[in-house]
Structure 1
Amino acid sequence: MWQVGVALALLVVVVQARSGVQLPRMQIQRVKNHVKTQANINAELQHLRAKYNVTQQAVAATATNMTTEPLSNDMNMEYFGSITLGTPPQSFKVMFDTGSSNLWVPSSTCYAEACLAHNVYTAGDSSTYVSNGALISITYGKGGMTGLLAQDVLQISGLTIPQQVFAMADTELDNQFNDAAFDGILGMGYQALAENNVVPPFYNLVSLGLVPESVFSFYLKRDSTSTDGGALVLGGSDSSLYAGPMVHVPVTREDYWQFQLDYASIAGVEICNKCQAIADTGTSLIAAPAAAYKVISSLIAPTGSFQCSAASLLSLPVLKLTIGGGCFNIGPESYIIQNGGQCLLGISSLDTDFWILGDVFLGQYYSEFDLGNNRLGFASITGHCPNSASRTSFFLFFY
């Protein structure tokens, strides 16, 4: 799932939100653009099955402003940003993952290959380190980490949590993180999902009054011709980053960010009616229940891949989704991954009864995670919802 990282250059700008509030925003310049391969997709699918603990099936200080954390984009497969831990600060790249709830980084006591290839936390170098001593193990069915809990100063986008409990990984299992472009993971899910009932960082930002609202939101840049990787907004939503109305739906289960997907169809075939779905920024693809995936793949890519051409792509159906009564369709320009003249399907299958809407979906729609009101919001970035009638053409990039 994790690929080689990209070089970054940061440009600090201030944007004017439609609400009139000055929002500090740090944009990412993406210097190098990679391509995705079938191996990338297979690795993502392997991690996804492990993360949700399913087996492989045959179907295969009081703040007045919001704060924006820049996100780096690695191959449109992973989005991550920077944090620091300790005094003086030790820097780490972390994936902000709404599909988990713990913060962990590699420890200097870890000699696994994954640890040696990444930035590590050295407790002895921090004057504010506090030993916790509790053992922790975070697993994703296959892969994960084991280590010790600790407490130290955490800084996220200029916001300081003086006593954040986090995990120091002294073992990273099954080589899952060897080639990760990031060092660790910062979970953005509910505390109920956290191992050892550790309080997640965003909960602490809220309790310390460091954000104006108990809301965070994501803008994930998907344009392969752009150097902007997107942003994580802490404390609200930046309406300058989306064009359509924000549609809210209640959370149906408070661990993952789970909600009701009202309806889904493709080529006129119903594949979901009042299904459950999870919004997961730590997942690159869309994962559908096995029965829905069987229909999707039979209509689009029965053999898993096919030769790309303008005619073949324009003939593909739109995946039509209804959420909260609003249209949130995904066109083939979004769910097809193009590489070397081959078209690969960016939708996978899991043996679950819920959908996982990862970055293939979240890259098309601004997503708001409202912890205070236990709801999610989605809004179109472009201001329109793809459909067969309005779709006429899109760019093809062959590598």
Structure 2
Amino acid sequence: MNSEPLPNNLVFPMQRGPFQNNGASPWYCTLKLGTPAQSLKFSLDSGTNMSWVTSTLCSTDQCKHFAGGRFDIQASSTFAFTDCLRRPYSFGPWGTMQVESASDVLTLPNDAHLNSQLFLAAAYEGDQFKQLDWDGGLGLPCSSAYVEGRSSFVLQTLMREGQLDPAHPFIAFDWDAQRRSGDCRMGAVDSSKTQGPHLFLPWSVYSALPGVEYIWSTELKSYSVGSEQLRSNIKFALDSGSSQFKGDSALMRETLARISHSNQPDILLEFADGQMTLGSELYECLIEAGPQQGQVLPQFAPLGLTNLVVVGSVVMDYCYTVYEYQVVKCSHEVYSLAPMGIWLFNRPDGPQIITRSSSKPFVPDARAVLDGKLTLPGPAIETATVAGTWRNDYGSVMTLEVSGRQVTGTYRSSTGSTGEYSITGCVSGTGATRTANQPLALAIEWHDLGDETKDPSWNWASGLSGQLSVTDKGDVLTLNHVLVATSDFPELARQGSYIDKLVYTRAEPQVQITPSTSIEPFPVKNTLAGHWVTVDGTSLVLSVHSDSKQRFGMVRGSFKCQEASAEVTGFTDINTLKCKLSLQSVSLTATLTGDNTVFTLCGTLDLMADTLSLLVLTSSAVAPAHAYLATQISSLHFTRTTDAFPSAQSLRGK
């Protein structure tokens, strides 16, 4: 593919196997493992932090893959187990294999021998493995700090043993899809291929999914399909072991939906300093083997990697790609590698996918080797917010806005009545993380904001309390729901209180909404207004307002006790008397001052007895593993009074 090899570097000849619809790169290098040497196909994989090979530890019905090779451990005199345990190794959402740890001699293309530690695949199954064009992989993670401890890092080992110059810390991939041949060059760059439009993608750690900090990730300013921007300020990773675009499940599904309804839109990736554009002729690929052989399919796959876009050969086939490290020398023969970033260069004879160059130039000279220590930037603690649009399992959609601790929004229900309904509520803390959920309380007034036909549910209210959590599959709202029906709704529900668990995931806004913050409140006279107290002294002081159309009541007030206080917001039905009902629905929310706790109080005001009976859902911030203890239920019974010596015991839990 190019001229004579540059001095002091190692070239791995590579071949392109059949393109298959499994998300794995079709590129591999044939290397020899063991004594006597056994030829096997290896991926040179920048998307993993360990080295592995399919082995004869697999039973005959396991480890079936397209390449078909297995390393025969008993045929190698230099083979040795380094551990006595078999364990699962996860490739994340892509799949899992059972592995055992071992060591043996790897023969490199220059006939040098490298003592290597690696994992032996002892079991795996699934279509993604069946379509694999290689027998194993050699990991090329972004840093030696992230290498799996029982596995060798080839580039670092070559530097340590004097076979590569640490001043040239490059791994360059040069693939020609038309000729189905290429190479991976370690320790040098072909400067003749670093001319013209280029991109520099500085490394930035991806921390949304713990354990995959080893990927070569960078900041992605925006991701667009055609003229429509679908995401902004997420992460992008270039993975030589991958083929198709994959990653964030919602984003990949949205991409496929827009491709199916549009006329071959371009995919536009905009970075802080540069831009890449791929036409449909590049991401619509002919499947050359496997179950979809002969089909031309868009290469986008949901993979549960939150806020991340990963791609491999679909981009790298058309670019000269250079991964660059910073080398640190700790002692005489100890070299550590830190990530600098990735350089991409348009191939002059191929599609010009880099449509705006980076301003930073590439200089193919020797790099300085640092002495001493270097600190890698730690992963930022990513927090999720309840702000956004959410859809539950029933198909109901709510859109929430957050200002400080106050939450407002609008709800569209898919059960019972249809229409738009107002939301108010509160959160505690600054957001949810991988280690701590965020408590949330909401109140919903079921009087339609639009011009829908009136029905009995217009007198009802709901209270919701629960958690926002950050999961591998995205952000999730898990809320306990109390629906207070103050009247019968024929063929739907009888008067009473109904409890349900609702799970919401993020969704794209489908309709224009009328935010509840746009409603101008006016004071109104209502029986709920006043001072209420329980037997143990818990106190509520409430006032009632309404919008200009007198549709429903907006409640404001305070909760006071000897230990804590809280502002209260919520809703109530102000049309109870007009509708000749004896029960008035009430739903209130509050967050305790100085405590990471929110609560919803939902129930009825009995107009005849002048008593206020409320179910209390109290939610506190918990670790994800303890989510089943996040919300506590209790009840409070208030009477009207002018005196108050309250206690918060029933709200704070026993």
Aligned match of 1:333:
281
Match of 2:45 among 89, 97, 112: 97
Distance in 1 of aligned mates of 2:129 and 2:353: 36
**1:86–1:79 CA distance, 2 compared to 1 (3 A):** same
Aligned match of 2:266:
318
Percent identical among aligned pairs is 23
Contact 2:345–2:354 (8 Å) recurs in 1:
no
Distance in 2 of aligned mates of 1:320 and 1:146: 38
- CA-CA distance at 1:370 after TM superposition: 1.4
After superposition, give the CA deviation of every residue in 1:259-311 in whole Å (9 maximum; x if it has no partner).
11233323322233332111112222112534544553343214xxxxxxxxx
Amino acid paired to 1:219: D
Q: Does 1:201 align with 2:154?
A: yes
Q: Higher helix proportion, which one?
A: 1
Matches within 5 A, 1:226-375: 226-241=178-193, 243-253=195-205, 254-287=213-246, 289-302=248-261, 315-323=263-271, 325-338=273-286, 343-351=296-304, 352-372=306-326, 374=339, 375=341
After superposition, give the CA deviation of every residue in 1:113-150 in whole Å (9 maximum; x if it has no partner).
35577333233433333331243532234643323222
After superposition, give the CA deviation of every residue in 1:24-51 in whole Å (9 maximum; x if it has no partner).
7xxxxxxxxxxxxxxxxxxxxxxxxxxx
**What's the secondary structure of 2:43's corresponding residue?**
strand
Match of 2:121 among 149, 169, 181: 169
**1:97–1:341 CA distance, 2 compared to 1 (3 A):** closer
Q: Does 1:150 align with 2:81?
A: no
Aligned match of 2:12:
69
Distance in 2 of aligned mates of 1:246 and 1:286: 20
Aligned match of 2:333:
none
Aligned match of 1:81:
29
* Gaps in structure 2 of 5+ consecutive residues: 21-25, 206-212, 288-292, 327-337, 356-654
Contact 1:264–1:321 (8 Å) recurs in 2:
yes
Contact 1:244–1:384 (8 Å) recurs in 2:
no
- CA-CA distance at 1:334 after TM superposition: 0.4
Per the normalisation by structure 2, the TM-score is: 0.44
Amino acid paired to 2:172: S
- CA-CA distance at 1:329 after TM superposition: 1.2
Contact 1:112–1:171 (8 Å) recurs in 2:
no
Distance in 2 of aligned mates of 1:79 and 1:279: 14
**What's the secondary structure of 1:328's corresponding residue?**
strand
Match of 1:377 among 320, 324, 343: 343
**1:342–1:65 CA distance, 2 compared to 1 (3 A):** same
* Gaps in structure 1 of 5+ consecutive residues: 1-12, 17-21, 25-63, 303-311, 389-399
Higher Cα Rg, which structure: 2
**1:327–1:116 CA distance, 2 compared to 1 (3 A):** closer
**1:324–1:91 CA distance, 2 compared to 1 (3 A):** farther
- CA-CA distance at 1:191 after TM superposition: 4.5
Contact 1:219–1:241 (8 Å) recurs in 2:
no
Relative contact order higher in (CA < 8 Å, ≥ 6 apart): 1
Aligned match of 1:218:
173
Contact 1:97–1:185 (8 Å) recurs in 2:
yes
- CA-CA distance at 1:341 after TM superposition: 9.3
**1:274–1:182 CA distance, 2 compared to 1 (3 A):** same
**1:114–1:368 CA distance, 2 compared to 1 (3 A):** farther
Contact 2:16–2:181 (8 Å) recurs in 1:
yes
Aligned match of 2:5:
23
**1:129–1:217 CA distance, 2 compared to 1 (3 A):** same
**What's the secondary structure of 2:69's corresponding residue?**
coil
Aligned match of 1:140:
91
Distance in 2 of aligned mates of 1:241 and 1:67: 17
After superposition, give the CA deviation of every residue in 1:315-356 in whole Å (9 maximum; x if it has no partner).
533222233512321111101225799653222334421111
Contact 2:346–2:354 (8 Å) recurs in 1:
no
Contact 2:235–2:307 (8 Å) recurs in 1:
yes
Aligned match of 1:130:
80
Distance in 2 of aligned mates of 1:263 and 1:124: 52
Aligned match of 1:188:
140
Distance in 1 of aligned mates of 2:41 and 2:246: 26
**What's the secondary structure of 2:129's corresponding residue?**
coil
Contact 2:318–2:351 (8 Å) recurs in 1:
no
Q: Does 1:119 align with 2:74?
A: no
Distance in 2 of aligned mates of 1:198 and 1:338: 35
Contact 2:266–2:278 (8 Å) recurs in 1:
yes
Distance in 2 of aligned mates of 1:178 and 1:267: 34
Amino acid paired to 1:70: P
**What's the secondary structure of 2:277's corresponding residue?**
coil
Contact 2:81–2:103 (8 Å) recurs in 1:
yes
Contact 2:46–2:215 (8 Å) recurs in 1:
yes
Amino acid paired to 2:115: Q
Contact 1:247–1:326 (8 Å) recurs in 2:
yes
**1:208–1:134 CA distance, 2 compared to 1 (3 A):** farther
- CA-CA distance at 1:155 after TM superposition: 2.0
Distance in 1 of aligned mates of 2:227 and 2:64: 51
Contact 1:252–1:259 (8 Å) recurs in 2:
yes
**1:114–1:291 CA distance, 2 compared to 1 (3 A):** closer
Amino acid paired to 1:138: Y
Measured on the aligned residues, the alpha-carbon RMSD in Å equals 3.1
Amino acid paired to 2:152: V
| Length, aligned pairs only | 317
Per the normalisation by structure 1, the TM-score is: 0.69
**What's the secondary structure of 1:203's corresponding residue?**
helix
Answer with 270-279 or 167-176: which moved more: 167-176
**1:329–1:108 CA distance, 2 compared to 1 (3 A):** same
Distance in 1 of aligned mates of 2:79 and 2:89: 22
Distance in 1 of aligned mates of 2:75 and 2:250: 53
**1:173–1:116 CA distance, 2 compared to 1 (3 A):** closer
Runs (4+) off by over 6 Å? 339-342
